[in-house]
Structure 1
Amino acid sequence: MLHLFNVSVYSTHIDLFAGDWKAVAAFAAQQGFDGIELLIGVDPLPDLPSGLVCGVHLPYWIRWIEIWRDGPAAAIPADERAFLAGGARDAADMVALQHEWWQRAARLQAQYAVFHVSHVTMAETFTRYYSFSAEEVVSAAIELLNATAASFPHGEPPVRLWLENLWWPGLTFTDPDLADRFVAELRFTNWAFVLDTGHLINSDPSVTDEEVAIDLVLARIAALPSRVRERIEGIHLNLSLSGAYQRAAQAAGLPDRFAALPVAEQFALARDHVAQIDQHRPFTSPRCREIVAATRPRVVVHELLARTRAELEQSLRLQCRALDR
Structure 2
Amino acid sequence: KMTDPELVRYFIENIEYEHKGLMLDTGHLLNTNLDINTEEEGIDYLIETVKNLGDMKDYIKGIHLSKSLSGKYVKNQIEKYKKIEIDSNKANNEIIYHILKIDEHKPFTSNKINNLIEMINPKFLVYEFITTSLEELSDFIKIQDKALDL
Q: What TM-score, normalized by structure 1, do the two folds share?
A: 0.44
Matched to 2:104, the amino acid is Q
1:316: Cα distance to partner?
Answer: 0.5
Match of 2:65 among 213, 237, 251: 237
User: Is 1:290 the equivalent of 2:103?
Assistant: no
Measured in 2, the distance between the counterparts of 1:268 and 1:192 equals: 35
Structure whose alpha-carbon radius of gyration is higher: 1
Which structure would you say has the larger RCO, counting Cα contacts within 8 Å and 6 or more residues apart? 2
Q: What do the CA deviations read for 1:257-293 (whole angstroms, capped 9, x no partner)?
A: 42x524xx54443222111011111101011111101
Measured in 1, the distance between the counterparts of 2:136 and 2:53 equals: 35
1:184: Cα distance to partner?
Answer: 1.4
1:300: Cα distance to partner?
Answer: 0.5
The answer to whether the Cα contact below 8 Å between 2:12 and 2:20 also exists between their aligned partners in 1 is: no
Identity value in percent: 29
1:190: Cα distance to partner?
Answer: 3.6
1:189: Cα distance to partner?
Answer: 2.7
Structure 2 unaligned segments of length 5 or more: list them. none
Question: In structure 1, what is the equivalent of residue 12 of structure 2?
Answer: 183
Matched to 1:284, the amino acid is T
Measured in 2, the distance between the counterparts of 1:255 and 1:275 equals: 22
1:176: Cα distance to partner?
Answer: 0.7
RMSD: 1.6
User: Is 1:204 the equivalent of 2:39?
Assistant: no
Q: Secondary structure at the match of 1:236?
A: strand
Q: Secondary structure at the match of 1:251?
A: helix
Size of the aligned set, in residue pairs, is 150
Measured in 2, the distance between the counterparts of 1:222 and 1:270 equals: 34
User: Is 1:215 the equivalent of 2:73?
Assistant: no
The answer to whether the Cα contact below 8 Å between 1:176 and 1:223 also exists between their aligned partners in 2 is: yes
Measured in 2, the distance between the counterparts of 1:178 and 1:209 equals: 28
Q: Report which of the two has the higher share of helix.
A: 2
The answer to whether the Cα contact below 8 Å between 1:206 and 1:243 also exists between their aligned partners in 2 is: yes
1:235: Cα distance to partner?
Answer: 0.3
